[in-house]
Amino acid sequence: MAEPVYETNLNYPLIHRGKVRDTYDLGENLLMIATDRLSAFDVVFKQPIPKKGEVLTQLSKFWFEKTNHIIKNHVIHNKFPEDFPEEMKRRSMVTLKAKPLKIECVVRGYLTGSGYKEYSKTGEVCGIKLPEGLKNGSKLENPIFTPATKAETGHDINIDEQQAKEIVGNDTFEFAKNKAVELYKFGRDYVLERGLVLADTKFEFGIFNEEIILIDEILTPDSSRYWLKSDYEKGKLLSLDKQYVRDYLETLDWNKQPPAPTLPPEVISKTTERYLQAYKMITGKDL
């Protein structure tokens, strides 16, 4: 197994070092590299999760190709600079320079996470009234679009449709909403046949040449919540993502503020296993 990549330092202008991705300026295009960094509770850990960045990139490329009929995306194939390291290509994408919309486009087909917490208090999620008596993990009759603000640091904050329209405009909002729901339904149906439940997911859109396109990542374990269908049918919500890390962290006396605690080797290896399992179940191939 290749050495994990925690941080990159390449000979191109660095635009942004996020929680997971390092983004460089290639002039006309962008270079996005998914490292093996892990963030949980909005804290970036010092230990990488091996193969995570490769899974995120290769799964995004898989889904971008599968959903091209729904909406254009930002990927430019086979445009790496001549001096780009070969060993970095599987975790990297060259993309168009789109201007991101200032909202996160979240679609929920099942009630869980922050949506369930909000529902438990108000009976609503992002201003959408839901039926009474739903439980954590309940399937919703129809997927709901629940936008959020983009936070540079800390949590994204759920907003209602009216607030989202005020941020991006009515027409842009309606287009993003419709495409996000269509993308979610496509992904949900695709993975259900392969033994996974797509509970919820987050899409990002951007504007390129006055056209709205799909950007960032798509339907990965970092941007989505995947449950094993066999366990879901037994009433268990087993996520194939970093939830394994979160569950471990909840057992610690940690205030969820930096510095992050040290993760045991077993937690790191089990998390890698979950990312690789998600990749194989979705694509039908080993990474």
Q: What is the total count of domains within the chain?
A: 2
Q: Residue 55 corresponds to which amino acid?
A: V
Place of tokens 């635009």: 15
Which structural domain range is residue 87 located in? 14-37+50-95
Structure tokens at 54: 């490769």
Q: Are residues 71 and 136 in the same domain?
A: no
Pairing of strands 43-44, 128-129: unpaired
Average pLDDT value for the chain: 95
Q: How confident is the model at residue 1 (pLDDT cuts 50, 70, 90)?
A: low
pLDDT at residue 153, as a whole number: 60
DSSP string, 66-119: HTTTT--B-EETT---TTS-GGGGGGEEEE---EE-SEEEEEEEE--HHHHHHH
Q: Are residues 189 and 203 in the same domain?
A: yes
Q: Are residues 82 and 106 in the same domain?
A: no
Mean pLDDT of 251-258: 95
Q: Are residues 176 and 67 in the same domain?
A: no
- pLDDT tens readout for residues 33-90: 999 999 999 899 999 999 999 999 999 999 999 999 999 999 998 899 999 999 999 9
Number of Cβ atoms within 10 Å of the Cβ of 117: 13
Residue 261 lies in a domain: no
Q: Are residues 184 and 106 in the same domain?
A: yes
pLDDT at residue 122, as a whole number: 96
pLDDT at residue 156, as a whole number: 79
Sheet holding 30-34, edge to edge: 14-17, 21-25, 30-34, 92-95, 75-76
- Give the distance, in angstroms, between the CA of residue 170 and the centroid of all CA atoms in the same chain: 25
Q: Are residues 176 and 91 in the same domain?
A: no
Q: What is the pTM of this model?
A: 0.95
pLDDT at residue 249, as a whole number: 96
pLDDT at residue 150, as a whole number: 80
Residue 121 burial (10 A CB sphere; 0-12, 13-18, 19+): exposed
User: Is a pLDDT exceeding 90 seen at residue 151?
Assistant: no
User: Is a pLDDT exceeding 90 seen at residue 157?
Assistant: no
Residue 45 lies in a domain: no
Place of tokens 């039908």: 284
Q: Are residues 146 and 172 in the same domain?
A: yes
Q: Are residues 105 and 229 in the same domain?
A: yes
User: Is a pLDDT exceeding 70 seen at residue 197?
Assistant: yes
- Give the distance, in angstroms, between the CA of residue 123 and the centroid of all CA atoms in the same chain: 26
Residue 233 lies in a domain: yes
Using alpha carbons only, what angle is made at residue 66 by residues 53 and 183, rounded to the nearest 5 degrees?
A: 90
Using alpha carbons only, what angle is made at residue 111 by residues 267 and 273, rounded to the nearest 5 degrees?
A: 20
Mean pLDDT of 206-220: 98
Residue 141 lies in a domain: yes
Q: What percent of the chain has pLDDT over 90?
A: 92
- pLDDT tens readout for residues 87-140: 999 999 999 999 999 999 999 999 999 899 999 999 999 999 999 999 999 999
Report the CATH number that the domain containing residue 27 is assigned in CATH: 3.30.200.20
Q: Which residues pair with 214 in a beta bridge?
A: 73, 205
Residue 251 lies in a domain: no
- Give the distance, in angstroms, between the CA of residue 82 and the centroid of all CA atoms in the same chain: 29
Q: Are residues 115 and 231 in the same domain?
A: yes
Q: Are residues 130 and 174 in the same domain?
A: yes
Number of Cβ atoms within 10 Å of the Cβ of 120: 12
Picking from 165, 162, 166, 191, the residue whose alpha carbon sits closest to that of residue 176 is 165
Report the CATH number that the domain containing residue 230 is assigned in CATH: 3.30.470.20
Q: Residue 22 corresponds to which amino acid?
A: D
Q: How confident is the model at residue 236 (pLDDT cuts 50, 70, 90)?
A: very high
Q: Are residues 106 and 237 in the same domain?
A: yes
- CB proximity list for 32: less than 8 A, separation 6 or greater: 21, 22, 23, 92, 93, 94, 95
Residue 287 lies in a domain: no
Q: Are residues 144 and 188 in the same domain?
A: yes
DSSP symbol at 158: B
Residue 247 lies in a domain: no
Residue 131 lies in a domain: yes
User: Is a pLDDT exceeding 70 seen at residue 154?
Assistant: no
